[in-house]
Amino acid sequence: MKKTTTIFREGDHAWTVVARDPARPDYLIDTNEYLVTHGGRGLLTDPGGCEIFAAVFAALSNENDPGCIEAIFASHQDPDIISSLALWLEFKPQLKCHVSWLWSEFVPHFGGDDQTLVAIPDEGTVIPLGGLTLEAVPAHYLHSSGNFHLYDAKARILFCGDVGSALLPPGAGLFVTDFNSHIRNAEGFHRRWMGSNEAKRDWCERASRMDIDLLCPQHGAIYQGADVMRFINWFDELKVGVGVGKARPQPVAWKQAA
Partner 1 sequence: MNHKAQNNVGEPLQKVVHANGSIRAVIDMSRRVNLVAINAALAAKKAGAQARGFGVVSAELRHFSNWLDQQMAELDQLIAALVVSLAEAAKERRSQNHLLDAQARSADPQHLESTTHRLEQRLVEADEANRQRWRALTERIGQVLRRCNTGTALVRSAKVEAVYGGAFAAGLRQVAEEIEATIGTIQQTLKQLSHDVAEAQS
Contact positions vs partner 1 (CB under 8 A): 1, 50, 53-55, 57-58, 61-62, 65-67, 86-87, 89-93, 111-113
Residue 66 beta carbon to partner 1: minimum distance, rounded to whole angstroms: 6
Cβ-based nearer residue to partner 1, 86 or 153: 86
Compute the distance between CA of residue 139 and CA of residue 199 in angstroms, rounded to an integer: 7
Cβ-based nearer residue to partner 1, 90 or 205: 90
Pair 5, 216: CB distance under 8 Å: no
Cβ-based nearer residue to partner 1, 6 or 61: 61
Q: How many Cβ atoms sit within 10 Å of the Cβ of residue 27? A: 10
HSE, side-chain direction, 13 A CA sphere, residue 241: 10
Cβ-based nearer residue to partner 1, 67 or 225: 67
Partners of 216 in the beta sheet?
Answer: 159
Residue 219 beta carbon to partner 1: minimum distance, rounded to whole angstroms: 22
Residue 227 beta carbon to partner 1: minimum distance, rounded to whole angstroms: 34
Pair 48, 32: CB distance under 8 Å: no
Compute the distance between CA of residue 258 and CA of residue 247 in angstroms, rounded to an integer: 18
Compute the distance between CA of residue 114 and CA of residue 39 in angstroms, rounded to an integer: 27
Residue 78 beta carbon to partner 1: minimum distance, rounded to whole angstroms: 19
